[in-house]
Structure 1
Amino acid sequence: MKDTIVIGGGPAGLQAALTLGRMRRDVLLVDSGDYRNASVEHAHNFITNDGLAPSEIREQARKEVAAYPTVEQRSARVQSVAREGDGFVAYVDGETVHARTVILATGMRDTLPDVPGLADVWGVEAGQCPFCHGYEIADRTIAVHGVAAHTAMFVTLLRNLSDELVVLPDGDQIDDDTQKTFDDVGVRVVPGTIRSVDRAEGGVRIAAGDQEVLAAGLFVTPTFEQSAPFAEQLGLDMLPSGAIEIDVQGNTSVPGVYAAGDLAHVAELPMPRPSLLGAAAAGLVAGSTAVHDLLGG
């Protein structure tokens, strides 16, 4: 019987395992090797790690966690998790693992807009977070895809990085309030459906309607969903965003199950905020909550 099984080997899961390991808790960390930011070459806005590749950050974290003998790290895939008696049972590549608590840190899966060529530049020339990918393309042309409800806010943020902002509605209609925001901040709108996105020297080439835009970077808002079925299997309460509902301690609606990272958020937030540093912080919170709860078990 493990004290905790941590599912997910990103910063949230690794930090949770580290926190538990430092209190000599018997932990199994299972890492499937699937990462939301797999195509990202450099991570930013993470103090002490700014500019490192996410793979480098994970590798360093694995080495640090390996120093704690009560934590086992396993490259494997969890098929299912279920309540069993006072604890939980997980099936890990056909093996049965029993644990008193579970920390879910499996993240979200992005679905990109159906734009030809976008997947090829995703994570490098195209991204979704101005805090993570904006500074490096400051003072150059920055493009934004679509006109979803939050696009006006998005371009307002980017306006502080560049005077050359281009919005590509890609067939969406622009309402009057959004158009006024675009006019106020000096955004150029290029109408028409996006026909292709290609890597170009110093950035990305976007063919939209009968025009072509050369930009240093392209910001896109993908749709997202849980990357693993465990929330449904455990019957956890979910939020309208598609994320798991947690409280400020990382507790889910099922006692003994905690969630950390961008797969979960508190109800007061409208959606999860993807961030390596935020995920690590959430892993620390979930891990320390599990430690305290295990004291009473």
Structure 2
Amino acid sequence: MSPTTLHTDVAIIGGGPAGLQAALTLGRIHRDAVLFDNGTYRNAGVAHMHNVLTHDGTAPSEFRATARDQLAAYDTISVRDVAVTDVVQADGGFRLVLADDSVLTAEVLILATGVRDELPAVDGLDDLWGDLAAHCPFCHGHEFSGRRIGILGAAAAPHLSALLGPIASELLVLTQGEDLPEAWSGGAMVRDEKVLGLERHDGGIRVRFTEGSDEQVAAIFVSTALRQSAPFAERLGLELNPSGCVRIDELGRSSLPGVYCGGDMAHLPAHPMPMASVIMAAAAGQLAASGAQMQLMSAAH
């Protein structure tokens, strides 16, 4: 039996803030769209979102549930909890193959699949990630006000110390034996020994070294490398920025006509990295949906 094939105007892959906002934007103008959510999110390990106006301190799961409840009011929007396994160009649009073996075709594609953080290979860091270890002081710094904060890695020390200096009572830079950049201006304790491991201790983190005494900090901040969460940017041959994120223009358009991107997976070439926040992701989702609508309107004339 051949798989069932459905059709929609816009297929949205990704159920985080960017994808949800894209769906809402299209629903508001009664444009048919299907959002696919495979249940994996960059902030899955985070208990509370921050730096999100009217939602500061809200659990990400609550945010997503509220968004879905509101999307249910729009008859042209469908949300499916199923993974997309493949996307190809077909008949002037796109053909999506789903994990349940069904097939959907769409005129326009919005990718909001996000990125994954690649952490330094330090024992114990994975277990702390999203809780006592983070990469964004805007999202996680305030909760450690007046406490000692660690910075893991020499390269990001100038940037992170400048952001965290007004928050922390003291900063501890763990260089991992690397040289600090020329931009480093001091103002923090520095340990050059390699970190042997990190472990929860006394409400914070105990830092163990290959030699020398342990240190205690309330939290660890680290710069991460980014990789695409989904293979679709590579499969569709989308142009990437040096960061590994998809290169888009001011309307969220990728290098492939008909493919729009929003959220952490994409950014303008003028930016060195994505502006990783819930509000920025949602804004990018709205922009991508507006661009998709403009393309569909143009094709109709």
1:245 corresponds to which of 239, 247, 258: 247
Paired position in structure 2 for 1:141: 148
CA contact (8 A) 1:109 1:227 kept: yes
Q: CA deviation at 1:211?
A: 2.2
Matched, 1:45 2:51: yes
Paired position in structure 2 for 1:235: 237
Q: Measure the CA separation in 2 of the matches of 1:155 and 1:174.
A: 12
1:292 aligned partner, one-letter code: M
Paired position in structure 1 for 2:21: 15
Detail structure 1 runs of 4+ shifted over 6 Å in the superposition: none
Paired position in structure 1 for 2:4: none
Q: CA deviation at 1:110?
A: 1.2
Q: CA deviation at 1:200?
A: 1.8
User: TM-score by structure 2 length?
Assistant: 0.94
Root-mean-square deviation (CA), in Å?
Answer: 1.1
SS in 1 for 2:214: strand
For structure 2, which runs of at least 5 residues remain unmatched after alignment?
Answer: 1-6
SS in 1 for 2:207: strand
CA contact (8 A) 1:23 1:291 kept: no
% identical equivalent positions: 45
Alignment of 1:125-274 (within 5 A): 125-148=132-155, 150-175=156-181, 177-179=182-184, 181-182=185-186, 186-208=187-209, 209-274=211-276
SS in 2 for 1:3: strand
Bigger mean CA deviation after superposition, 161-170 or 1-10: 161-170
Q: Measure the CA separation in 1 of the matches of 2:68 and 2:58.
A: 15
Paired position in structure 2 for 1:115: 122
For structure 1, which runs of at least 5 residues remain unmatched after alignment?
Answer: none
Q: Measure the CA separation in 1 of the matches of 2:170 and 2:272.
A: 29
CA contact (8 A) 1:40 1:123 kept: yes
2:206 aligned partner, one-letter code: R
SS in 1 for 2:120: coil
1:267-291 deviations in Å (ceiling 9; x for gaps): 1011112111110010011111111
1:61 corresponds to which of 50, 53, 67: 67
1:28 corresponds to which of 23, 29, 34: 34
Q: Measure the CA separation in 2 of the matches of 1:201 and 1:278.
A: 35
CA contact (8 A) 2:260 2:292 kept: yes
Q: Measure the CA separation in 2 of the matches of 1:79 and 1:258.
A: 18
Q: Measure the CA separation in 1 of the matches of 2:87 and 2:61.
A: 27
Count of matched residue pairs: 291
Q: CA deviation at 1:178?
A: 4.3
Q: CA deviation at 1:56?
A: 1.0
